[in-house]
Amino acid sequence: MLIDYKGVELRQDDRPVLSGIELQVDEGELCYIMGEVGSGKSSLLKSVYGELPIAKGSATVLDTNLCRLRPRKLPRLRKQMGIIFQDFQLLRDRTVQENLDFVLRSTGWKKRRLRQERIQEVLEQVGLGESAMSMPYELSGGEQQCVCIARALLNKPRLLIADEPTANLSAESSKLVMSLLSEIRKSGTAVLLSTHNSSLPELFSGRIRECKDGRLEEKTEEG
Protein backbone atom coordinates (compact mmCIF):
# COMPACT_ATOMS: atom_id res chain seq x y z
CA MET A 1 0.00 0.00 0.00
CA LEU A 2 1.58 3.28 -1.12
CA ILE A 3 -0.97 5.57 0.55
CA ASP A 4 -2.96 4.59 3.61
CA TYR A 5 -5.12 7.30 5.26
CA LYS A 6 -7.44 6.38 8.11
CA GLY A 7 -9.68 8.93 9.80
CA VAL A 8 -7.45 11.80 8.65
CA GLU A 9 -8.38 15.42 9.25
CA LEU A 10 -6.72 18.32 7.42
CA ARG A 11 -6.80 21.89 8.67
CA GLN A 12 -5.71 25.24 7.26
CA ASP A 13 -5.65 28.46 9.25
CA ASP A 14 -7.06 26.45 12.17
CA ARG A 15 -10.20 25.47 10.30
CA PRO A 16 -11.06 21.99 9.01
CA VAL A 17 -10.71 21.45 5.26
CA LEU A 18 -11.42 17.72 5.05
CA SER A 19 -12.37 15.34 7.86
CA GLY A 20 -12.62 11.57 8.23
CA ILE A 21 -10.50 10.86 5.16
CA GLU A 22 -10.22 7.19 4.24
CA LEU A 23 -7.89 6.72 1.29
CA GLN A 24 -5.84 3.75 0.13
CA VAL A 25 -3.79 3.71 -3.07
CA ASP A 26 -1.77 0.71 -4.23
CA GLU A 27 0.95 0.14 -6.83
CA GLY A 28 -0.06 0.74 -10.43
CA GLU A 29 -3.32 2.40 -9.47
CA LEU A 30 -4.85 5.54 -10.96
CA CYS A 31 -6.91 7.37 -8.35
CA TYR A 32 -8.86 10.51 -9.22
CA ILE A 33 -9.54 13.15 -6.58
CA MET A 34 -12.48 15.14 -7.93
CA GLY A 35 -14.41 18.13 -6.68
CA GLU A 36 -15.14 21.78 -7.22
CA VAL A 37 -12.61 24.56 -6.78
CA GLY A 38 -11.98 25.07 -3.06
CA SER A 39 -13.31 21.64 -2.08
CA GLY A 40 -9.97 20.48 -0.66
CA LYS A 41 -8.42 18.58 -3.57
CA SER A 42 -5.11 20.43 -3.52
CA SER A 43 -4.97 20.32 0.28
CA LEU A 44 -5.25 16.55 0.17
CA LEU A 45 -2.43 16.28 -2.36
CA LYS A 46 -0.27 18.67 -0.35
CA SER A 47 -0.70 16.46 2.70
CA VAL A 48 0.54 13.45 0.73
CA TYR A 49 3.84 15.13 -0.16
CA GLY A 50 4.25 16.62 3.29
CA GLU A 51 3.45 20.29 2.71
CA LEU A 52 0.26 20.24 4.81
CA PRO A 53 0.47 18.49 8.19
CA ILE A 54 -1.94 15.80 9.34
CA ALA A 55 -4.17 17.27 12.06
CA LYS A 56 -5.80 14.01 13.15
CA GLY A 57 -5.87 10.32 12.25
CA SER A 58 -3.18 8.05 10.81
CA ALA A 59 -1.42 8.59 7.48
CA THR A 60 1.26 6.47 5.85
CA VAL A 61 2.80 7.32 2.47
CA LEU A 62 5.50 5.14 0.90
CA ASP A 63 6.07 3.33 4.19
CA THR A 64 6.54 6.66 5.99
CA ASN A 65 4.37 7.72 8.93
CA LEU A 66 3.44 11.32 8.08
CA CYS A 67 2.28 12.00 11.61
CA ARG A 68 5.82 11.40 12.90
CA LEU A 69 7.75 12.71 9.93
CA ARG A 70 10.56 15.09 10.85
CA PRO A 71 11.29 17.95 8.43
CA ARG A 72 14.83 16.70 7.74
CA LYS A 73 13.38 13.38 6.51
CA LEU A 74 10.99 15.03 4.03
CA PRO A 75 13.46 15.23 1.09
CA ARG A 76 14.00 11.46 1.25
CA LEU A 77 10.23 10.89 1.05
CA ARG A 78 9.76 13.33 -1.84
CA LYS A 79 12.58 11.71 -3.80
CA GLN A 80 10.37 8.61 -4.04
CA MET A 81 7.53 10.56 -5.65
CA GLY A 82 7.04 12.82 -8.63
CA ILE A 83 4.88 15.95 -8.51
CA ILE A 84 3.16 17.48 -11.55
CA PHE A 85 1.61 20.95 -11.32
CA GLN A 86 -0.97 22.56 -13.58
CA ASP A 87 1.17 25.68 -14.09
CA PHE A 88 4.24 23.69 -15.21
CA GLN A 89 6.76 25.55 -12.98
CA LEU A 90 9.52 25.26 -15.56
CA LEU A 91 12.54 27.57 -15.53
CA ARG A 92 11.78 29.80 -18.51
CA ASP A 93 15.39 30.89 -19.12
CA ARG A 94 16.75 27.34 -19.39
CA THR A 95 16.39 24.63 -22.00
CA VAL A 96 14.37 21.49 -21.39
CA GLN A 97 17.59 19.60 -20.74
CA GLU A 98 18.80 22.23 -18.28
CA ASN A 99 15.47 22.13 -16.45
CA LEU A 100 15.76 18.38 -16.00
CA ASP A 101 19.46 18.48 -15.19
CA PHE A 102 18.76 20.98 -12.42
CA VAL A 103 16.48 18.42 -10.74
CA LEU A 104 18.97 15.58 -11.07
CA ARG A 105 21.84 17.64 -9.65
CA SER A 106 19.61 18.75 -6.78
CA THR A 107 18.76 15.14 -5.93
CA GLY A 108 22.31 13.83 -5.83
CA TRP A 109 23.16 12.70 -9.38
CA LYS A 110 26.90 13.48 -9.56
CA LYS A 111 27.99 12.07 -12.92
CA ARG A 112 27.14 14.21 -15.92
CA ARG A 113 27.02 11.26 -18.32
CA LEU A 114 24.46 9.42 -16.19
CA ARG A 115 22.36 12.58 -15.91
CA GLN A 116 22.36 13.07 -19.68
CA GLU A 117 21.39 9.44 -20.26
CA ARG A 118 18.52 9.65 -17.78
CA ILE A 119 17.26 12.93 -19.26
CA GLN A 120 17.17 11.40 -22.75
CA GLU A 121 15.38 8.31 -21.41
CA VAL A 122 12.53 10.26 -19.82
CA LEU A 123 12.18 12.63 -22.76
CA GLU A 124 11.81 9.68 -25.12
CA GLN A 125 9.32 8.13 -22.71
CA VAL A 126 7.05 11.17 -23.03
CA GLY A 127 7.57 11.56 -26.78
CA LEU A 128 9.95 14.54 -26.67
CA GLY A 129 13.22 12.87 -27.53
CA GLU A 130 14.10 15.64 -30.00
CA SER A 131 13.25 18.55 -27.69
CA ALA A 132 16.12 18.52 -25.19
CA MET A 133 17.58 21.81 -26.45
CA SER A 134 14.23 23.60 -26.84
CA MET A 135 13.23 26.46 -24.57
CA PRO A 136 9.94 26.00 -22.68
CA TYR A 137 8.31 28.92 -24.52
CA GLU A 138 9.01 27.19 -27.84
CA LEU A 139 6.77 24.28 -26.83
CA SER A 140 2.98 23.99 -26.78
CA GLY A 141 1.12 23.76 -23.47
CA GLY A 142 0.72 20.02 -23.89
CA GLU A 143 4.43 19.59 -24.67
CA GLN A 144 5.38 21.66 -21.62
CA GLN A 145 3.22 19.44 -19.44
CA CYS A 146 4.94 16.40 -20.97
CA VAL A 147 8.26 17.95 -19.90
CA CYS A 148 6.80 18.22 -16.39
CA ILE A 149 5.89 14.54 -16.50
CA ALA A 150 9.42 13.74 -17.65
CA ARG A 151 10.76 15.82 -14.75
CA ALA A 152 8.56 13.91 -12.33
CA LEU A 153 9.85 10.58 -13.68
CA LEU A 154 13.56 11.38 -13.35
CA ASN A 155 14.08 9.57 -10.05
CA LYS A 156 11.88 6.59 -10.99
CA PRO A 157 9.14 7.40 -8.45
CA ARG A 158 6.81 4.88 -6.87
CA LEU A 159 4.07 7.52 -6.75
CA LEU A 160 3.09 10.37 -9.10
CA ILE A 161 1.00 13.23 -7.72
CA ALA A 162 -0.68 15.37 -10.36
CA ASP A 163 -2.55 18.52 -9.30
CA GLU A 164 -5.01 19.47 -12.07
CA PRO A 165 -2.46 18.51 -14.77
CA THR A 166 -4.89 19.13 -17.65
CA ALA A 167 -6.59 22.29 -16.36
CA ASN A 168 -4.77 24.68 -18.71
CA LEU A 169 -4.65 22.38 -21.73
CA SER A 170 -6.74 21.85 -24.84
CA ALA A 171 -8.86 18.70 -25.12
CA GLU A 172 -6.28 17.15 -27.47
CA SER A 173 -3.36 17.95 -25.15
CA SER A 174 -5.33 16.69 -22.16
CA LYS A 175 -5.78 13.31 -23.84
CA LEU A 176 -2.05 13.18 -24.61
CA VAL A 177 -1.13 13.86 -20.99
CA MET A 178 -3.66 11.37 -19.64
CA SER A 179 -2.49 8.72 -22.10
CA LEU A 180 1.04 9.14 -20.77
CA LEU A 181 -0.08 8.89 -17.15
CA SER A 182 -2.17 5.82 -17.93
CA GLU A 183 0.82 4.19 -19.60
CA ILE A 184 3.14 5.05 -16.70
CA ARG A 185 0.92 3.26 -14.19
CA LYS A 186 1.44 -0.01 -16.10
CA SER A 187 5.03 -0.03 -14.80
CA GLY A 188 3.74 -0.12 -11.22
CA THR A 189 3.89 3.61 -10.47
CA ALA A 190 0.69 4.80 -8.78
CA VAL A 191 -0.93 8.04 -9.96
CA LEU A 192 -2.94 10.28 -7.62
CA LEU A 193 -4.58 12.95 -9.75
CA SER A 194 -6.84 15.84 -8.81
CA THR A 195 -9.26 17.25 -11.38
CA HIS A 196 -12.64 18.90 -11.76
CA ASN A 197 -12.97 17.45 -15.29
CA SER A 198 -15.57 14.70 -14.98
CA SER A 199 -14.90 13.43 -18.52
CA LEU A 200 -11.39 12.17 -17.74
CA PRO A 201 -12.48 9.02 -15.85
CA GLU A 202 -14.82 8.21 -18.73
CA LEU A 203 -11.82 8.03 -21.07
CA PHE A 204 -9.15 6.72 -18.67
CA SER A 205 -10.52 4.40 -16.02
CA GLY A 206 -9.50 4.62 -12.39
CA ARG A 207 -10.87 4.78 -8.88
CA ILE A 208 -12.72 7.99 -8.09
CA ARG A 209 -12.92 9.94 -4.85
CA GLU A 210 -14.82 13.21 -4.52
CA CYS A 211 -14.16 16.07 -2.12
CA LYS A 212 -17.59 17.32 -1.11
CA ASP A 213 -18.93 19.11 1.97
CA GLY A 214 -15.67 18.64 3.86
CA ARG A 215 -15.54 14.88 3.26
CA LEU A 216 -13.88 12.50 0.81
CA GLU A 217 -16.52 10.28 -0.74
CA GLU A 218 -16.06 7.19 -2.90
CA LYS A 219 -17.71 7.13 -6.30
CA THR A 220 -18.32 4.29 -8.74
CA GLU A 221 -15.38 3.55 -11.02
CA GLU A 222 -15.88 4.68 -14.57
CA GLY A 223 -14.31 3.94 -17.92
Model confidence pLDDT, tens digit, residues 192-223? 999 988 899 999 999 999 999 999 999 865 44
- Distance, in Å, from the CA atom of 183 to the CA atom of 190, rounded to the nearest integer, reads 11
Between CA 215 and CA 115 the distance in angstroms is 43
Coil/strand/helix, residue 12: strand
- pLDDT for the residue numbered 51: 94
pTM beyond 0.85, yes or no: yes
- Identify the pLDDT of residue 151: 96
For residue 223, what pLDDT is reported? 44
Q: What is the pLDDT of residue 219?
A: 80
Q: Residue 85: pLDDT band by 50, 70, 90 thresholds? A: confident
pLDDT of residue 168: 84
88/147: higher pLDDT = 147
Q: Residue 170: how many CB atoms within 10 A of its CB?
A: 12
pLDDT tens-digit map of 6-52: 999 999 988 999 999 999 999 999 999 999 988 999 999 999 999 99
User: Predicted confidence band at 89 (pLDDT cuts at 50, 70, 90)?
Assistant: confident
Task: Report the C-alpha gap between 125 and 156 in whole angstroms.
Answer: 12
**Closest among 49, 23, 62, 17 to 217, alpha carbons compared:** 23
* pLDDT score of 221: 54
- Is residue 177 classed as helix, strand or coil in its secondary structure? helix
Look at residue 87 in the predicted model and tell me its pLDDT.
Answer: 83
Q: What percent of the chain has pLDDT over 70?
A: 98
Q: With H, G, I as helix, E, B as strand and everything else as coil, classify residue 219.
A: strand
pLDDT digits (tens, 9 = 90+) for 128-184: 999 999 999 999 999 999 999 999 999 999 999 999 999 889 999 999 999 999 999
Cα 131 from Cα 139, distance rounded (Å): 9
Angle CA 150–44–202, to nearest 5: 65
Sign, CA dihedral 70-71-73-76, equals positive
**Residue 220: predicted pLDDT:** 60
Residue 25: partners with Cβ closer than 8 Å, 6 or more residues away: 1, 2, 3, 31, 159, 190, 192
